Structure 1
Amino acid sequence: MKKKNKVFVAVTNDISTDYRVHKICSYLIKLGFDVVVYGRVLPNTITVKRAYTIIRKKHFFNNNFLFYAEYNIRLFFYILFRKFNYIVSNDLDTLPACFFTSKLKNIDLVYDSHELFSEGPELQGRAFVQNFWRKLEDFFLPRIKKSYTVSQSIADFYDKKYQNKMGVIKNVPLKNAYSNLKEVKFPTDKRTILYQGVLNPGRGIKPMIKALKYIDNLDLVIIGYGKVEQELRMFVAKEKMDERVHFLGRIDRGKLINYTKLATLGMVLEEPLGLSFTYSLPNKLFDFIHAEIPIIAGNMPEISRIINEYKVGVTVEDYSPEKIASKINEVLNDAALLSSIKKHQQETKEILCWEIESKKLDNYFK
């Protein structure tokens, strides 16, 4: 019996919540590959069962330069002494080890850029650190033959800089993602606007909290975890909005869809903190489309392109609480607009779905 080709997938984030990596690995399994995903042990991680092998390593260091150094050294030697036919590097922080082992062992390398890494919001104002990541991009990206990213704006940015013809594979859900739902409840009987995702700076959550003061009968539900969670909780207390903002914490992807479908509106109010956010195409944008939840979005190029082309929501002029509230009230008070948005979402999810998008992977894996 012929042995299956093996694909090695490297990530530094939490495997249990990275839906993009899961979908790609599942597609590769469907194509007949054996898949091994290599990540790390993180606090409060969720144990998951997958059709592919998951390797999680506990690190001595979990932050800053020492983590990236330790991770890549350990990753390098892990790949070096094992046989794979493909290496998939997810984001720049996994690339050094993946690149050099692929060269040493003559293995096909595929690079998946989830964001414009060197222009992320956490690097703004940190010139030395940002320059370090830019130098890594300058060295590696022109030398990689197979690469793709999540939005056309990021692909265009890299192509203009490196002439590397990066492809685009959007992070869209499966068509049936929102079928067979289970009954769940929000901790409020009011209409709701939902934020789901990582709780990091620049997600528009604070302006949304303030905007609630100008909107009747609408609460904010926040699902996720991250570095600013405690700061947001303190902000809610300071604004005296404890009864209108509800933190549900971290919810497994398989259960999250049940909560997404419950919301009245979905918020995608990423702020332009660096080009990575400006060019982003967040997962939740497509989640809200598939859940048929009208979207309130920031006016950023990739996000507004989807909103305007497919008519699946509205964009705000700026991030002032008053303007956000005005747009939300406008939508909530227009039954015809809400109906139209939901109709367009039903049509759009047949187009922007993983069944169609995943076929682009055939260009990278034979």
Structure 2
Amino acid sequence: MTEPRILCISFSDIASDARVLRQLEVLSRHGHVTTLSYGVHPAGADEHISIDSALPSLPQTLGGVLKLGLRRFSSVALGAPAVAAARAAIVGREFDIVVANEARALPLAFEVEGAPKIWCDLHEWAPAERTHVLSWRLLVAPFMDWVCATYLPRVDAATTVNASIGAMYEEQYGVRTDIVRNAIAYRADIAPTPLEADRIRLVHSGGAVPGRNIEAIIDAVDLLGDGYTLDLYLIPSRQAESYWKQLTARIDASPRTTLHPAVAPAALPSTLNPYDLGVYLLPPHTPNHRLMLPNKFFDFVQARLGFVFGPSVETDRLIKENGLGVVAAGYSASDLATAVRKLSREEIAGFKRATDAVAAELSSETDIAVEDSILRRLAEA
């Protein structure tokens, strides 16, 4: 039997997109994989079609914005510069399975030749991806709602990150989703590290994106004073150069904060392992923030860290059920500093041991089984 021809679409740089990289590991076992994305040829792909990273994946030309404002969504669905370039790049090529990463890839997925089966991996709640930004809320959110309503009922499989968001897709669009968390592979070679004698080491990793509240974490470690340090492993945003300059200036002004170059997703657990507490304070600006279950949660688990997170439905549950750490009272620097200051060294060491105890359970094995099942079903259909 000829192996399926699989097209994986992602309007991201897959080489630094941990979720899609994990997805590719599974796809590569089921067929011949072609990736279509920004950036260089990612691991796990047999072929790669690169989209110019300067091209936006949403309509940003004057004509495109006007069509968004006039709600002429069908005429703009394939008009974003990156989408148009991607469509041109695959003209005449047929595929058996298309994996559309995030709803914005769906209009393109349905243009692919060969009558492919379509699996949409909904990383989060698409209609509210950036609704804390006024222009996005007024122009793009209605378009994303239209994309979901138009295309999701027609897909052959759909997945999302947790049951809370899955329930929203079923209620709003009538599509049932399987759950594929942001969990990473179990690292049996990593164990909790002992605390250093003179300090508690806080760490945060992820994208340096406006609204992620990284400044509050920096302010918190300065409030904590001697005996505490913060290390940051940050990925600069392609679209926020001025923010990156402001953020690095703030880091430079903090005597207790150190900025490190970003590391590959697979290297994060071992890189983070020497630290004590993984910290994250994401205010609930959108439903996705309120219901988050981010990559970094699972990175911290495999790194065997204790947790101090701001309140969030899904992470609150996992932290409290498993004794992994504490949930701060809110999202301010003082909330984080207060939560950390209350912890004894013995409690922090206990959190690290608790994380070690559930590292296998909170790894990617369950998610891989879900993806394998979807791909077998689509290949046989």
User: What is the DSSP-based 3-state SS (H/G/I as helix, E as strand, rest coil) of the residue aligned with 1:54?
Assistant: strand
Which residue, 329, 333, 337 being the options, matches 1:325? 337
Q: TM-score, normalised by structure 2?
A: 0.83
> 1:266 is matched with which residue?
278
Partner residue of 1:283 out of 295, 300, 304: 295
Q: Paired residue for 1:197? A: 206
Separation in 2, partners of 1:254, 1:350: 16
Q: Which runs of 5+ in 2 are unaligned?
A: 62-78, 192-197, 377-381
Aligned residues: 345
Q: Which stretch of structure 1 is more off in the superposition, 7-16 or 114-123? A: 114-123
Query: Using a 3 Å threshold, how does the CA distance of structure 1 residues 129 and 106 change in structure 2: closer, same or farther?
Result: same
Report the Cα offset of residue 175 of structure 1: 1.1
Query: Equivalent residue for 1:36?
Result: 34
- The answer (yes or no) to whether the contact 1:268–1:285 under 8 Å persists in 2 is no
Residue 312 of structure 2 is aligned with which of 284, 300, 308?
A: 300
CA spacing shift, 1:63–1:74, aligned 2, 3 Å: closer
Identity of aligned residues (%): 21
Distance in 2 between residues matched to 1:77 and 1:117, nearest whole Å: 25
Between the aligned partners of 1:267 and 1:209, the Cα distance in structure 2 is 11
Deviates more, 1:225-234 or 1:267-276: 225-234
Q: Name the CA distance, whole Å, in 2 between partners of 1:269 and 1:75.
A: 36
Deviates more, 1:76-85 or 1:144-153: 76-85
1:252 CA displacement = 2.4
**Matches of 1:179 and 1:347, distance apart in 2:** 12
* Aligned ranges 1:40-59 → 2 under 5 Å: 40-41=38-39, 49-50=43-44, 52-58=46-52
1:122 Cα deviation (Å)? 5.7
Equivalent residue number for residue 10 of structure 1: 9
Q: Which moved more, 1:121-130 or 1:277-286?
A: 121-130
Matched, 1:312 2:324: yes
Question: Is the alpha carbon distance of 1:70 and 1:200 closer, same or farther for their aligned partners in structure 2, counting shifts above 3 Å?
Answer: same
Secondary structure of the 1:8 match is strand
Q: Is the 8 A contact 1:87 1:107 kept in 2?
A: yes
Q: CA deviation at 1:309?
A: 1.9
Q: Cα 1:266–1:329, aligned 2, differ >3 Å: closer, same or farther? A: same
What's the CA shift string for 1:307-355, capped at 9, x where partnerless?
Answer: 1122212100112222211111122x240x2233223212211111112
Partner of 1:232: 247
TM-score by length of 1: 0.86
Deviation at 1:9, TM superposition (A): 0.1
TM superposition outliers: structure 1 runs of 4+ over 4 Å: 177-180
Offset, 1:258: 3.1
Determine if contact 1:8/1:88 at 8 Å carries over to the other structure: yes
| Match status 1:117 vs 2:126 | yes
Offset of residue 60 of structure 1: 6.0
1:90 equivalent to 2:88? Answer no
Superposition deviation, residue 112 in structure 1:
0.3
Instruction: Supply the AA of the counterpart residue of 2:180.
Output: I
Inter-CA distance 90–277: structure 2 relative to 1 (3 Å threshold): same
RMSD of aligned residue pairs (Cα, Å): 2.4
